[in-house]
């Protein structure tokens, strides 16, 4: 793209107005004929030089300022593939700082921070069938069960080196497929200098971290996932960035990517710098980054991290500056997120946009025209906190705190939710999910199975952090692999088998996702049984015959002849019991088929009775039921999954 061409001038102008969503084609480094052209946005710099291994890091390649845009550029034939480079910036105050290229697609290995001249090879993708299906399907009415992964600590080589995406392709994909998850979600994969930040303090918004391998390896990994019917999501951080002086902060010596107000620019809670989301050039930069990951790597969705910090001026610790109305709404952040979602949905309607957001003051999901931010899903942080508090509790006190488990029924349709037990719940002394559970080791596993069953049968999509599927006892460590040795213990191995079986059941049972987002998807049977502390409800599909009865016993007391209200006369078969021996329980056979009794139970005309195991969860399916009575005097029944008509 030559500097004086019409295309260049248009791209430059769109960048300045916040409408260039492919800004990486304007800025960064590009090969044109026999030279490389480097461009960087530093409007208030006094001078910028290109320095690198190709010129011994000296000042022999000064860049020229395009005053109308603040973009510096230089053309040179010197560099070659694999060379390292930075921009030497004489800032507004006269200091000279070596700065990274914000648009670099590759960086040198840690602890080095130089950009690497790297051309991502062309790829002939083979995932057209997968992508076509995603474009045609409605995600809300499909199963969505996410396995959350920190790429460098899922598994490591014997010498402590993290798995590259080439390694993960060979081991992670078969593992996720066998366990029955529909998607993998990676914590941020973009370049970051400190592993301790888990990737949430980014420097390279267009670069796969060199710690994880090459861009080509990631593309091959995603393709293989798609060929195995597994989607791939990535976390992405538009709210704040790494504070290191050689990266984005005060790039030209003045607020460039960050807010001019020093109070708004500094994120005290995380020790980072906040993007000025109202600045057009920053909007071009960030939206270009999101689209780059979607298009370069065929990513199926993005989870936007820390949305509350973008929406509310008082989210951070310490003093804050009210908006022009005197309130705490960050209007720049609000409208940026709406713009982000509208641009991505226009370009790629099938891309799933998710928000990690913990407040209830702003509508997160739904149509932007209705006033929402336009996300597809919101993490249900309230549900997660309430449920964990409940399962950590001694069962003696659970009947007095039953509302922790049932309160979500009051608001579950307010947003399109993802029920997430994420990495945030198993670090910093919070204990693993297994370790949180009440009781001795046997009861901890029983509680964990019960809790996972509640998650899988509660309306909403699902997410579980790696290691939780087999009940790892130690909390997650970002610099060590999972405790795979746990699987030498029969209880952990059976827990892993339980999770896999539950995941498969979720995918197969339409009642657990077909009417997602509609009130009709669930009917409460009994959420007031405080004395027994047993919760019962129905999940429904579109067809009358497609429904499941869910029974959760939250105490270590086995309930005999336990009554459950049901909508139709007939028989009901137990299809899932968390206390089966194969899952680590003590039961060797399922309950017998239950025959209805014509006796009212709350809003139902019929009820069944069964045994509910101590700390156990049951799922029952109608086997032979009378759906309705016709005027002809014949009754329609469901028998063995088939509808039959017989005399009344």
Place of tokens 């739904």: 366
- The enclosing domain of 176 has a CATH number of 3.20.20.80
pLDDT in tens, 331-372: 999 999 999 999 999 999 999 999 999 888 999 999 999 999
- The enclosing domain of 66 has a CATH number of 2.60.40.10
Regarding whether 578 and 453 lie in a shared domain, the answer is no
pLDDT of residue 5: 84
Regarding whether 243 and 111 lie in a shared domain, the answer is no
Spatial separation of the C-alpha atoms in residues 570 and 625, rounded to whole Å: 4
Spatial separation of the C-alpha atoms in residues 583 and 590, rounded to whole Å: 13
The answer to whether residue 394 is catalytic is no
Regarding whether 308 and 238 lie in a shared domain, the answer is yes
Spatial separation of the C-alpha atoms in residues 248 and 188, rounded to whole Å: 17
The answer to whether residue 167 is catalytic is no
SS3 33: coil
Regarding whether 489 and 554 lie in a shared domain, the answer is no
Regarding whether 249 and 200 lie in a shared domain, the answer is yes
Regarding whether 271 and 401 lie in a shared domain, the answer is yes
Domain presence at residue 481 = yes
Q: Which of 83, 101, 116 is the last residue of a domain?
A: 116
Spatial separation of the C-alpha atoms in residues 405 and 383, rounded to whole Å: 8
Nearest to 608 by CA among 597, 592, 620, 624: 597
Average pLDDT value for residue range 210-227: 97
> Is the pLDDT score of 454 beyond 60?
yes
Query: Which entry of 223, 258, 305, 514 is annotated as an active-site residue?
Result: 305
Nearest to 424 by CA among 233, 190, 148: 148
Regarding whether 563 and 505 lie in a shared domain, the answer is no
Domain presence at residue 524 = no
pLDDT in tens, 105-137: 999 999 999 999 999 999 999 999 999 999 998
> Is the pLDDT score of 629 beyond 70?
no
Regarding whether 323 and 411 lie in a shared domain, the answer is yes
- The enclosing domain of 567 has a CATH number of 2.60.40.1180
pLDDT band per the 50, 70, 90 thresholds, residue 637? low
Query: Which entry of 356, 357, 475, 546 is annotated as an active-site residue?
Result: 356
Domain presence at residue 316 = yes
Domain presence at residue 531 = no
Domain presence at residue 317 = yes
SS3 389: helix
- Number of domains composing the chain: 3
Regarding whether 107 and 62 lie in a shared domain, the answer is yes
Regarding whether 490 and 350 lie in a shared domain, the answer is yes
pLDDT of residue 289: 98
Domain presence at residue 632 = yes
> Is the pLDDT score of 16 beyond 50?
yes
pLDDT of residue 630: 46
Regarding whether 409 and 507 lie in a shared domain, the answer is yes
Regarding whether 103 and 60 lie in a shared domain, the answer is yes
pLDDT in tens, 486-527: 999 999 999 999 999 999 999 999 999 999 999 999 999 999
Question: Angle 52-54-56 (CA atoms, 0-180°, nearest 5)?
Answer: 65
pLDDT in tens, 52-67: 999 999 999 999 999 9
SS3 480: coil
Interacting residues of 410 by C-beta distance below 8 A, sequence separation 6+: none
Spatial separation of the C-alpha atoms in residues 180 and 147, rounded to whole Å: 10
By residue range, what is the domain housing residue 601?
A: 538-647
Average pLDDT value for residue range 163-176: 97
- In terms of C-beta density within 10 A (0-12 exposed, 13-18 middle, 19 or more buried), how is residue 523 classed? middle
- Which of the 8 DSSP states describes residue 95? -
Specify whether the CB–CB gap between 487 and 493 falls below 8 A.
yes
> Is the pLDDT score of 631 beyond 80?
no
Q: Which of 83, 116, 149 is the last residue of a domain?
A: 116
pLDDT band per the 50, 70, 90 thresholds, residue 478? very high
> Is the pLDDT score of 648 beyond 50?
no
pLDDT of residue 1: 43
Domain presence at residue 185 = yes
Query: pTM for this one?
Result: 0.95
Domain presence at residue 133 = no
């Amino acid at each position: 793209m030559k500097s004086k061409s019409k295309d260049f001038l248009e791209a430059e102008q769109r960048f300045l107005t916040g409408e260039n969503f492919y800004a990486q084609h304007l800025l960064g480094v590009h090969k044109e004929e026999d030279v490389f052209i480097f461009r960087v946005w530093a409007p208030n710099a006094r001078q910028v030089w290109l320095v690198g291994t190709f010129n011994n890091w000296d000042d022999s390649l000064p860049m020229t300022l395009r005053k109308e845009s603040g973009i510096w550029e230089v053309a040179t034939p010197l560099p070659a593939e694999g060379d390292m480079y930075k921009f030497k910036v004489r800032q507004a105050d006269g200091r000279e700082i070596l700065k990274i290229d914000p648009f670099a697609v590759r960086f040198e290995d840690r602890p080095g921070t130089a950009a690497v001249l790297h051309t991502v090879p062309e790829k002939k993708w083979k995932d057209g069938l997968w992508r076509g299906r995603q474009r045609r399907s409605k995600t809300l009415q499909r199963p969505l069960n996410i396995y959350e992964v920190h790429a460098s600590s899922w598994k490591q080589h014997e010498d402590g080196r993290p798995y590259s995406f080439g390694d993960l392709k060979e081991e992670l994909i078969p593992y996720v497929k066998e366990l029955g998850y529909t998607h993998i979600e990676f914590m941020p994969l973009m370049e970051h200098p400190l592993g301790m930040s888990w990737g949430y303090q980014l420097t390279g918004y267009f670069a796969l971290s060199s710690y994880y391998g090459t861009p080509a390896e990631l593309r091959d990994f995603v393709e293989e996932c798609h060929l195995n019917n597994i989607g791939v999501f990535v976390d992405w951080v538009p709210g704040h960035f790494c504070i290191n002086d050689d990266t984005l902060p005060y790039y030209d010596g003045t607020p460039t990517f960050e807010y001019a107000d020093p109070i708004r620019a500094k994120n005290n809670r995380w020790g980072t710098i906040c993007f000025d989301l109202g600045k057009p050039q920053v909007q071009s930069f960030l939206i270009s980054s999101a689209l780059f990951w979607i298009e370069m790597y065929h990513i199926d969705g993005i989870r936007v991290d820390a949305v509350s910090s973008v929406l509310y001026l008082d989210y951070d610790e310490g003093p804050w500056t009210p908006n022009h109305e005197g309130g705490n709404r960050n209007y720049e952040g609000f409208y940026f997120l709406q713009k982000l979602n509208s641009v991505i949905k226009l370009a790629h309607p099938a891309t799933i946009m998710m928000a990690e957001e913990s407040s209830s003051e702003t509508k997160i999901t739904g149509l932007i025209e209705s006033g929402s931010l336009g996300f597809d899903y919101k993490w249900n942080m309230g549900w997660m906190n309430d449920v964990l508090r409940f399962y950590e509790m001694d069962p003696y006190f659970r009947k007095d705190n039953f509302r922790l488990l049932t309160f979500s029924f009051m608001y579950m349709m307010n947003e399109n939710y993802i029920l997430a037990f994420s990495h945030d719940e198993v670090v910093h002394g919070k204990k693993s999910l297994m370790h949180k559970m009440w009781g001795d080791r046997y009861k901890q596993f029983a509680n964990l199975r019960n809790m996972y069953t509640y998650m899988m049968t509660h309306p909403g999509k699902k997410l579980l952090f790696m290691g939780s599927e087999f009940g790892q006892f130690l909390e997650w460590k970002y610099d060590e692999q999972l405790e795979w040795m746990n699987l030498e213990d029969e209880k952990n191995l059976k827990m892993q088998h339980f999770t896999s079986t539950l995941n498969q059941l979720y995918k197969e049972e339409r009642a657990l996702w077909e009417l997602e987002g509609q009130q009709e998807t669930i009917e409460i049977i009994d959420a007031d049984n405080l004395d027994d502390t047993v919760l019962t409800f129905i999940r429904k599909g579109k067809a009358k015959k497609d429904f499941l009865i869910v029974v959760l016993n939250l105490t270590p007391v086995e309930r005999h002849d336990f009554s459950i209200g049901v909508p139709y006369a007939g028989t009901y078969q137990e299809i899932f019991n968390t206390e089966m021996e194969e899952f680590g329980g003590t039961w060797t056979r399922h309950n017998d088929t239950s025959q209805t009794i014509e006796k009212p139970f709350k809003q139902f005309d019929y009820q069944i009775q069964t045994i509910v195991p101590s700390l156990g969860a049951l799922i029952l399916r109608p086997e032979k039921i009378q759906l309705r009575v016709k005027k002809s005097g014949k009754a329609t029944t469901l028998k063995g999954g088939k509808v039959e008509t017989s005399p009344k």
